[in-house]
Chain A
């Protein structure tokens, strides 16, 4: 049974369309991340699932039941907010049990539930404090405790980590993922951070301008992005997207980037011959451009090239190199031992197995 089915969800604020027909089916136990730039409609979609906002059109099914006219409290959901939204005048214990109290759960059951959740989240010592006496990370835990205590069918997370500092965010990311693996709950998680999406999701829905651009597992979204928007949004640094044309000749099928002397010709699998003569956008992840002696798996589809280096960004674990590929800017990720200077020509290896080709007009992935 699917935990959540969205069919044809639309939403307009006045005459401004915010969601333009969202269809999505989320199975039990899945960790789905809605990711996209701000204003893409992801939070609005989450609010519609929660029942905090009505959709303009379409149906929301939770646990097989149409819930369009069901108030939030009866939808069998729990939600964690970006601002945590802890009730300031209540203690941690009262915050966690407020939902149970509203549902007239007897006191001893509430106590048992709070004990279970506090142990799960390791907040036993905080139960009698007020939210104002907690750190950001502790508030975050309490907010999750409030959601976990009711054991709902669906957990909704609205950018829960974006108010935390970078270090804590990484820790909480791991914890939420572990929590999911332990309790196997169904989670819909909204974020603008593509790293959160990649690291936690079992499936990612990339949203842009009120539409789902791609809804697939993280591996597919990363390696086979459905279009140029997804290719450029996911990954940091993002995928290199270079204008190219496909030529088929005696040297096999090749993608040619740039004009004249600067032009670079890269071999493509023979199967791409059907595209011969077409202008395309060639997508290659920065990690597919590395130092010359790098081996990419067992595959022989490796090309080495000399490229002019424009700038380097050492991050410690690796160095990001801004190079010119056929006259166009491309980012490479090389080992930190490779010391390149701006103005040098460096030798790079390209992993051609992972080339994506996009239609320059529609932006859609064609090969």
Chain B
């Protein structure tokens, strides 16, 4: 097919692709460059510019000294908060999604299509719509303003996606494997852990990357259900902005933004190729 594309068409495609790439990357580049410039340098010049001297100190300050709402601990504790929410919620929602997807796709039972439909409906409900129900739930189980509360929310909501991903992957596993396991005498969980789970790394990588990125970047629940020292880093970044009183500390703020984005960037850089491969797995037969 590429051979049939005329030269001007190929040129156009290149221009569009490069244009989009630049449009996405320039803001990030500006932030990274600013994170390496001192506040004075930015204040004297413009927001866009090459660092005159590499101000790595911005990162040290953003990490451990910078004041967030009168709390001069830097970003560090909030990063740990985010990790404490993201890591368990990612693992638990992936595991539960895998088991749910396995049950729905390979252990057909009465009403399985309905359950699958209801679980995946969660994907299409807007986040704002779920805020008030979650408020009641967290209040009633006493988890308002706790990291555990956020873990509960992300685990349960994440299951919509993880179940969808895993179910769609598992439908391609031959039913005969499950039949053979039943005759061999393996039950639901033994079949899952011994036969299905070892076949799952491609889809587990996809769901882990997806969940990790979404939970780490999530802002609305973080800012709604937590405050003070319990906030995840996305919510804390706002406080960091608000705390700026005298001289705008653009350099340190930029460094903080880069630090907050770093985990998901690393996950994508290391897992991205599995992610793309996994998403299209089974799409083309």
Chain A residues in the interface with B (C-beta under 8 A): 47, 50-52, 71-73, 77-79, 81-85, 87-90, 98-99, 102-103, 146
| 7 further contact pairs, Cβ within 8 A, besides A50-B179, A88-B198 | A85-B174, A89-B195, A89-B199, A98-B184, A98-B186, A98-B194, A102-B185
Q: Tell me the smallest distance from the CB of B78 to a CB of chain A, in Å.
A: 40
Please tell me if the beta carbons of B183 and A72 are within 8 angstroms of each other in the complex.
yes
Known A87-B194, A87-B195; judge A73-B180 contact (CB<8 A): no
Chain A residues closer than 8 Å to B10, beta-carbon distance: none
The reply on B176 being an interface residue by CB < 8 A is yes
Report the Cα distance A103→B174, complex, angstroms: 24
Chain B residues closer than 8 Å to A73, beta-carbon distance: 182-185
Please tell me if the beta carbons of A83 and B184 are within 8 angstroms of each other in the complex.
no
B interface residue count range (under 10 / 10 to 19 / 20 to 34 / 35 or more): 10 to 19
Chain A residues closer than 8 Å to B177, beta-carbon distance: 85, 87
Please tell me if the beta carbons of B184 and A99 are within 8 angstroms of each other in the complex.
yes
Report the Cα distance A51→B190, complex, angstroms: 19
Chain B residues closer than 8 Å to A81, beta-carbon distance: 176, 179-180
Chain B residues closer than 8 Å to A103, beta-carbon distance: 185
> What total of A-B pairs shows CB separation below 8 Å?
59
Kindly identify which residue among B174, B176, B182 contacts A72, using a CB–CB cutoff of 8 Å. B182
Please tell me if the beta carbons of A71 and B176 are within 8 angstroms of each other in the complex.
no
Report the Cα distance A77→B180, complex, angstroms: 11
Chain B residues closer than 8 Å to A52, beta-carbon distance: 179, 182-183
Which of chain B's residues 170-194 have a Cβ closer than 8 Å to chain A?
A: 174, 176-177, 179-186, 190, 194
Report the Cα distance A5→B181, complex, angstroms: 25
Give A82's nearest chain B residue, CB to CB.
Answer: B176
Q: Tell me the smallest distance from the CB of B108 to a CB of chain A, in Å.
A: 11
Kindly identify which residue among B180, B185, B194 contacts A85, using a CB–CB cutoff of 8 Å. B180
Q: Tell me the smallest distance from the CB of B173 to a CB of chain A, in Å.
A: 9
Give A87's nearest chain B residue, CB to CB.
Answer: B195
Give B201's nearest chain A residue, CB to CB.
Answer: A89
Report the Cα distance A98→B177, complex, angstroms: 12
Report the Cα distance A52→B184, complex, angstroms: 12
Please tell me if the beta carbons of B183 and A77 are within 8 angstroms of each other in the complex.
yes
Report the Cα distance A77→B184, complex, angstroms: 9
**What is the interface of chain A mostly: helix, strand, loop, or mixed?**
loop
7 A-B residue contacts at CB 8 Å?
A51-B182, A77-B183, A85-B176, A85-B179, A87-B181, A90-B198, A98-B186
Known A85-B174, A88-B199; judge A102-B190 contact (CB<8 A): yes
Report the Cα distance A266→B224, complex, angstroms: 97
Report the Cα distance A79→B179, complex, angstroms: 9
Chain A residues closer than 8 Å to B182, beta-carbon distance: 51-52, 71-73
Give A80's nearest chain B residue, CB to CB.
Answer: B180
Known A98-B194, A102-B185, A102-B190; judge A79-B180 contact (CB<8 A): yes
Report the Cα distance A84→B176, complex, angstroms: 8
Report the Cα distance A146→B198, complex, angstroms: 20
Report the Cα distance A82→B179, complex, angstroms: 12
Most A Cβ at <10 Å: residue of B180, B186, B194, B198: B180
Chain A residues closer than 8 Å to B186, beta-carbon distance: 98, 102
Chain B residues closer than 8 Å to A72, beta-carbon distance: 179, 182-183
Q: Tell me the smallest distance from the CB of A78 to a CB of chain B, in Å.
A: 7
Q: Tell me the smallest distance from the CB of A45 to a CB of chain B, in Å.
A: 15
Chain B residues closer than 8 Å to A90, beta-carbon distance: 194-195, 198
* 10 closest cross-chain pairs (CB), A and B: A89-B198, A73-B185, A102-B185, A99-B184, A85-B176, A85-B180, A81-B176, A72-B183, A83-B176, A72-B182
Chain A residues closer than 8 Å to B190, beta-carbon distance: 102
Give A98's nearest chain B residue, CB to CB.
Answer: B184
Q: Tell me the smallest distance from the CB of A149 to a CB of chain B, in Å.
A: 10
Report the Cα distance A84→B179, complex, angstroms: 11
Chain A residues closer than 8 Å to B195, beta-carbon distance: 87, 89-90
Q: Tell me the smallest distance from the CB of A56 to a CB of chain B, in Å.
A: 16
Report the Cα distance A88→B181, complex, angstroms: 12
